[in-house]
């Protein structure tokens, strides 16, 4: 599979996947996987329970073999090395990284989701309103085309 064939996860989808993972596992669940004093993220169920980002990626239909191949690297590191089995928008990366960092600081998954949502708000605040206006016009234009097709 080439990078062109990889599914894309944007900021909204990343938040939805994290929310679904929290709903399945429970908002008070605290992930625990450490090697020595360092916390690690196991993405696949084969190593026990997956971390929050691993669980979210599995909900995006990323298979166990692809998740196993991620090892215990951070999502930010994997993104930088182009080793993720999905394409992430920058917003999705920011959100998943925030959730992972919160989890690694022993936040319950519900709190990690709240933290990631706050980071998403701050990220979106960096974008000028004109971006949202342009997207809104594109969406309205697409809707108009579908109505007249």
d(CA 62, CA 64): 7
Reported pTM: 0.81
- What pLDDT, on a 0 to 100 scale, did the predictor assign at position 33? 66
- What pLDDT, on a 0 to 100 scale, did the predictor assign at position 143? 46
Enumerate residue ranges in the chain where pLDDT < 50.
Answer: 1-2, 36-37, 143-147
d(CA 134, CA 147): 20
**CA-CA-CA-CA dihedral for 24, 50, 56, 71, to nearest 10:** 180
- What pLDDT, on a 0 to 100 scale, did the predictor assign at position 133? 65
- What pLDDT, on a 0 to 100 scale, did the predictor assign at position 36? 47
- What pLDDT, on a 0 to 100 scale, did the predictor assign at position 34? 56
- What pLDDT, on a 0 to 100 scale, did the predictor assign at position 37? 47
Number of domains in the chain: 1
Residue 119 domain boundaries: 3-147
């Amino acid at each position: 599979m080439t990078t062109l064939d990889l599914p894309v996860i944007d900021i909204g989808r990343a938040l939805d996947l994290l929310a679904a993972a929290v709903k399945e596992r429970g908002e008070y669940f605290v992930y625990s996987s450490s090697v020595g004093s360092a916390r690690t993220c196991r993405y696949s169920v084969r190593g026990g329970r997956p971390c929050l980002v691993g669980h979210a990626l599995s909900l995006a239909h990323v298979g166990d073999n692809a998740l196993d191949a991620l090892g215990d690297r951070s999502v930010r590191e994997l993104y930088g090395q182009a080793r993720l089995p999905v394409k992430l928008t920058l917003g999705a990366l920011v959100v998943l990284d925030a959730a992972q960092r919160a989890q690694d600081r022993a936040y319950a998954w519900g709190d990690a989701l709240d933290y990631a949502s706050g980071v998403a708000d701050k990220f979106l605040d960096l974008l000028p309103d004109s971006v949202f206006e342009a997207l809104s016009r594109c969406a309205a234009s697409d809707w108009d085309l579908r109505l007249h097709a």
